[in-house]
Amino acid sequence: MRGPAGTAGSSFGSSDFVEFGADGRIARLTGFYDEVLSDVSVSYSGAGSATASAKVSGTTASGAGFDMQDDTDNGMRGLTMQSKDAGAVLRFLDIYEHMAGGTMKVQLAGDPSGVMTGPVDASNFEIVDEPKLRSLVSTTPSGSDRSLNEAVKRDIDTSRVSFERAYAWIAKGKGGLKIDNGVLRGPVIGSTFQGTLYDQNNNMDMTGTFMPVYGLNRIFGELPLFGPLLGNGRDRGLIGVTFRLRGNANKPTLDINPLSVIAPGIFRSIFEYR
C-alpha cells in the first residue's frame, strides 16, 4: 500500500486518499442459484472509494470463460463483460434466472457517477420457464375473446424457447435501467421491446411487439419491395401483438392490444403503446 506522490507514510486516518492495489486467485466461488465460477482471477486498483481498474475472470461450470473489466480514465468509466455461458453468469450475479447458455457481450461507457450507456448483444441461447412469456401467449386480453395461442391457432410451447439473437441499447443509472431498440429473434418467437426495466422504486414500464412463428413471419419482412410494407422492417413480422408490462418489476401487469393480432406490420405501430 502506498500514498499519493509526496505523501509517504499517509494512513487511512489522513485526509488524503490512499492508493490501493491487489491481485488474487480463488479456486472456487459460489454465487446466486448455486452457480459456481472456478479458477477466478481478481485484479483491483483504486484510491479511497474510487475504482481506477477492476478485472475479474473465471470459468463457469460448463467450462465457458467469463471476463469483466471496469476502468475509469480521464473522468470516463468503461465497463465490458463477456461470456460464452451467459445464462450461468446472469444467475451467478442474480441478474436473470431464466436464460440458459448463450454468448453475451456488454459494453457500457459514461460518467462514473452518472448514467452509463451501451449495447448488450447475445446469441444462441434459450429462455426456460419464463412466467411472463407464458402469460403473454396464454392470457386472454380485456376486450378480446381469445388468447394469442388461440389467435394463431397453435399452442406455443414456452417451456424452453430458443433464440438466435438478442440486442438492446441500455442506459444504466443509480437504481434504474432503461432499454431502447430491443430485439429478440428466434425460429419460433420474436419480439421488439423498449422502456424502463426497473426504476428506483422497482417499477417496470416496458412496451413492445410480440411475434409468434417468427421464422415464417420474418420471410415477409425480407421480401424485396413488399418486405418493408408487409413486414414493417427486417425485425418485425407480419403477424403479432403489441404489449405493455407495467407495475412492480417483480410481478408486472400484462396488457395486450387485441387489435394488433391481425394487423399487418405497417399498421401495427398505430396500436403500439406510447
Same domain, 26 and 138: no
Q: What is the pLDDT of residue 272?
A: 59
Query: Where does a domain end: 97, 120, 142?
Result: 97
Query: Where does a domain end: 97, 116, 144?
Result: 97
Q: Are 214 and 220 in contact (CB under 8 A)?
A: no
**CB neighbours of 233 closer than 8 A, spacing ≥ 6?**
221, 265
Q: How far is CA 11 from CA 4, 6, 27, 42, 229, in A?
A: 11, 13, 32, 24, 68
Quick one: which H or E segment has residue 214? Answer: helix 214-221
**Which residue in the block uniquely carries the three cell numbers 450461468?**
88
Same domain, 183 and 245: yes
pLDDT truncated to tens, each residue of the chain (274 aa)?
A: 333 443 444 444 444 556 778 899 999 999 999 999 999 999 988 876 677 889 999 999 999 999 999 998 888 999 999 999 999 999 999 989 999 999 999 999 998 888 999 999 999 999 999 888 888 788 777 666 777 777 666 777 889 999 999 999 999 988 899 999 898 888 888 888 999 999 999 999 999 888 776 555 555 555 555 445 444 454 444 567 788 889 998 888 888 776 565 555 545 555 555 4
Same domain, 178 and 49: no
Same domain, 89 and 216: no
Phi, psi of 169 (to 5 degrees): -100, 125
Query: Where does a domain end: 97, 120, 154?
Result: 97
Evaluate whether residue 208 is within a structural domain: yes
Evaluate whether residue 251 is within a structural domain: yes
Same domain, 73 and 146: no
Range of the domain at 27: 20-97
Same domain, 175 and 257: yes
Per the structure, how many domains does the chain have?
A: 2
Q: What is the pLDDT of residue 140?
A: 76
State the pTM of this model.
0.76
The C-alpha cell that represents 167 in the structure block: 440486442
Closest CA to 192 of 176, 177, 208, 179: 208
Same domain, 147 and 274: yes
Evaluate whether residue 90 is within a structural domain: yes
Same domain, 63 and 145: no
Evaluate whether residue 60 is within a structural domain: yes
Evaluate whether residue 11 is within a structural domain: no
Evaluate whether residue 119 is within a structural domain: no
Q: What is the pLDDT of residue 22?
A: 86
The C-alpha cell that represents 12 in the structure block: 487511512
Listing DSSP states for 161-191 in one string gives EEEEEEEEEEEEETTEEEEEEEEEE-SSEEE
Q: Are 244 and 255 in contact (CB under 8 A)?
A: yes
Evaluate whether residue 159 is within a structural domain: yes
Evaluate whether residue 29 is within a structural domain: yes
